Amino acid sequence: MTDAESFDAESWRDELQSHRREKDDFFADHPQSPIPPGEREDFERLDYFDPDPDYRVSATVEVHDDPDPVEMDVSAGVPQRYLRVATLHFEIEGEEYELAGYSREDHEGLFVPFRDKTTGQQTYEGGRYMEFETDEELEDGAEMVLDFNLAYSPFCAYSETFACPLPPEENWLETEILAGEKA
């Protein structure tokens, strides 16, 4: 059974809403919240696009066996080095797109920073992020779900005390991603 056949939109929406409530609670109360302490009392919740399963897409993984190093500019400070370990090919509204997936040499998982036509308008001017746990080694041609409803703004969107990687130009999408966290 494929993911599309087993997808339960109601359960997905409930999980997404629960995830958002947990994140709001973290931002409001946790000592490691990126919201400056003096502003937390006035913080109510983050602003999100409405959940939209059309922005939960299947992507084909293209693995880079010899990953290229990429120096990502950051919001403040020196560039950070990542490895371009995969390219994710997917469609939104019938158009084909791709995003590079990165990892740090000392970290597991896949980091996918991106900009789109909402960047600096409805969403944070520095772009947004998605992260994926990779329990198994990525395989060329494998399918994975990209859920843009989970796209989030980096901590530097809330406080200048954080330095965040900025999406490289290869991850600038020429479309609006009306999903995930807003500015």
Domain ranges of the chain: 48-171
Task: For residue 90, give both structure tokens.
Answer: 């997917």
pLDDT in tens, 85-102: 999 999 999 999 999 999
Residue 84 has pLDDT above 60, yes or no: yes
Distance CA 126, CA 96 (A): 23
Residue 17 has pLDDT above 90, yes or no: yes
* pLDDT average, residue stretch 10-22: 96
Are the CB atoms for 168 and 74 separated by under 8 Å? no
* pLDDT average, residue stretch 162-176: 96
Residue 71 has pLDDT above 90, yes or no: yes
pLDDT at 26: 96
Long-range Cβ contacts of 43-48 (<8 Å, 24+ apart): 45/20, 46/20, 46/181, 46/182, 47/181, 47/182, 47/183, 48/20, 48/180, 48/181, 48/182
pTM of the entire predicted model: 0.91
Residue 1 has pLDDT above 70, yes or no: no
Residue 130 has pLDDT above 50, yes or no: yes
